[in-house]
Amino acid sequence: MRILKQLSALVLRREITTCQRTMCKKDCLFRIHPSVSQAMAENKPVVALESTIITHGMPYPHNLRTAKEVEAIVRAQGATPATVGVIGGEVHVGLSSEELDHLAQSKSSLKVSRRDLPYVISKGLSGGTTVSATMIAAHRGLDISADLTELGRTPIAVVSAGVKSILDIGRTLEFLETQGVCVATYGQSKNFPAFFSPQSGFRSACHVSNPEEAAKLIASSLSLGLQSGILLAVPIPEEHAASGQQIEDAIKVAVAEARAEGVMGKDVTPFILQKVSALTQGKSLQANIALIHNNAKVGSQIACALSKQMNDRGLKSQTSPKASKFPSNSDSNIVVIGGINVDFIAKGKTKALKFGQTNPGSVCQSFGGVGRNIADSLSRLGQKPLFISATGADSNSDAVLNYCKHMNASGVARLKEHSTATYCAVITESGELSLGLGDMDIHQQITEHYVSQFKTQLSSATLVCLDGNIPTSTINYVCCFAEKHNINVWYEPTDSEKACKPFLSDAWKSLSYSSPNLAELCTMNKTLGVKTPEVLPSTRDEMLSVAVALSRPLLEHLHCLVVTLGANGVLLCGEYDAGTVNLQPRKQKKKRQLCALHYPALAVTPEEIMNVSGAGDSLAGALMAGILLGKDTDSCVRMGLLAARTSLASPHPIAPMLTLDAVNPNEVHTQTWPKPSLVWID
């Protein structure tokens, strides 16, 4: 059973696995079913079900029927099922009825553990996921197998029928103890079960009597920040225990035959299951199905209890930060949710940097983070955005919050036992990024549970801006909330890996604006299954052509795309309106004529460039400010271009001298403004 952020999720094998974490940065390899995404956004429990029981655990059609029965049991307990499987090289979190049927009938499906994921994905293959692979999917997701080691290194709770009797149960429990895994029996005794038998001759360290006690145990482990898991062993239902001895005898015979025939590795379990089913005339299959049903029921009850506890109280300490008090009379009409960093910028003084040795240069400290930069830019341009983020309770937090006194940072949580995000950029003499290193783990604490504490401010906002640093489930939550309350959402992708986050589900359809560069735009389209160039174009005309083509699929739902092209300027794509692109917030979706406007970049010499980390954020912030001020499109874009140029010439990501006057196109008399070129979009 795994908790996706503040949500409860389960991973079922004849076990159910729980852990606390977010989708990892390789989110683009995952497909989240809309029902799962919706449940996550609404803070409802989600149960992630492993799928080797479908592909390798039992024959067709028993496997398909059992899978559908298990999903029905999960729903009956008040949770949302999310069967995990790999189809065509993509990890699906939640399967449709057709996809379940495909896995159930496929003769070529592989058994996919942690070690197999890279190969299966790279080859575009399909398969059923084991507990360890399902946990990876739920993380974003028992001999000494990947499942055991996953338990020892990931904060998860596995709800299982114990350990298979074909294994050395004593050594298995010893190994779990050395890995720091808490083992508890679910029931009134500490007797540790052995799948088909309620007793194995071994005892657990403790026991929990009901879902509420189990949920409290898991919540306590999460609150302590332990990096090892919990094993909850559930005995076989009493009415099926009587056939246990017959099944155990059959298992011994099947194990001996497996050894005699040289069956090894991942083929052992399906061989034994098939042989035991034949020897027991199907009784083992019935008992096996009963185990699965029981674990689904117990695991879902625990998930719901855990979800209720977390939603009622929130986990204290690092998993549920307290919101700072927000002034009730605030007139903020924009909310920015994203990262806040302490940046260290190192600029070389030679044309080429030599790695492996010390280079002459200058090093300065500044304060960044995409969300912080945008909120800073908006604040300096006369807006009053509420900034929601998280920092550690450390000296770096003191420094950055002191620097941000001109901003409304009342939505920034300070968390003990966490470090404020830091970023180090090494840039060349000409200002190009050579290397970047970041410690951004704390951004995962900007959870939907924390953000939900600002519902009042969100519901009254004209515009909500999200950056790609925050967890996928938080993005889903905000998009779902915005859809219900008719709020415009701007997504700043941050980088090409994080650009895919809203596009893993239908969340992207709730976006109004986005400001990707060309690489990020490609990622967005790839995530939606749209073909993109294998190599990014290098000439201006080719870049414009590709940007226009890749903007078209997104404009089915987005109001406007601002594609940043570096030295080649900005491409604005959206609704045609009297010779330009309509930037003003839309009140309703309607059929429209689409076009693209290209604005050349402003000239900046290499000598003028001091910092490249905030130019795009300055552009986005100034564009938003112009839109909120009701400026025409040309004025908005020119404000953005001037803000970006000001940022490039400053040691800070957002220039302290940034003001409305500094980016007022009518006040900058030294700048000539070429007419933007218009292209129709079919």
The span from the CA of 122 to the CA of 161, in Å, is 34
Q: Nearest 5 degrees, angle CA 249-CA 250-CA 255?
A: 100
List the helix and strand counts (H, then E) for the chain.
Answer: 22, 30
Q: Where are the alpha helices (DSSP H) in 17-92?
A: 34-41, 52, 62-76
3-state secondary structure of 514: strand
**Encoded amino acid at 41, one letter:** A
* Nearest 10 degrees: Cα torsion 121, 126, 128, 130: -20
50 is catalytic: yes
3-state secondary structure of 38: helix
List the structure tokens of 505: 């589900």
The span from the CA of 524 to the CA of 527, in Å, is 5
The span from the CA of 332 to the CA of 573, in Å, is 28
> Which residue from 565, 600, 594 is spatially nearest to 581, judged by alpha carbons?
594
119-125 CB contacts, 8 Å cutoff, 24+ apart: 120/86, 120/89, 121/29, 121/86, 121/89, 121/90, 121/91, 122/89, 123/89, 124/88, 124/89, 125/86, 125/88, 125/89
Please report the DSSP string for 521-557 in residue order. Answer: HHHHHHHTT----SS---SHHHHHHHHHHHHHHHTTT
The catalytic position among 5, 44, 111, 164 is: 164
The span from the CA of 214 to the CA of 303, in Å, is 9
Q: Residues 464, 562: contact at Cβ < 8 Å?
A: no
List the structure tokens of 622: 């100034």
> Which residue from 7, 622, 573, 593 is spatially nearest to 311, judged by alpha carbons?
7
Q: What is the DSSP letter of 227?
A: S
Q: What is the DSSP letter of 18?
A: E
The span from the CA of 272 to the CA of 293, in Å, is 21
The span from the CA of 301 to the CA of 13, in Å, is 16
Question: How far out from the chain centre does Cα 171 lie?
Answer: 36
99 is catalytic: no
The span from the CA of 643 to the CA of 70, in Å, is 56
The span from the CA of 556 to the CA of 560, in Å, is 10
The span from the CA of 299 to the CA of 415, in Å, is 31
Distances (CA, A) of 364 to 393, 426, 618, 659: 23, 11, 19, 23
> Which residue from 461, 474, 468, 436 is spatially nearest to 371, judged by alpha carbons?
468
The catalytic position among 50, 99, 448, 492 is: 50
Q: Which residues are catalytic?
A: 50, 164
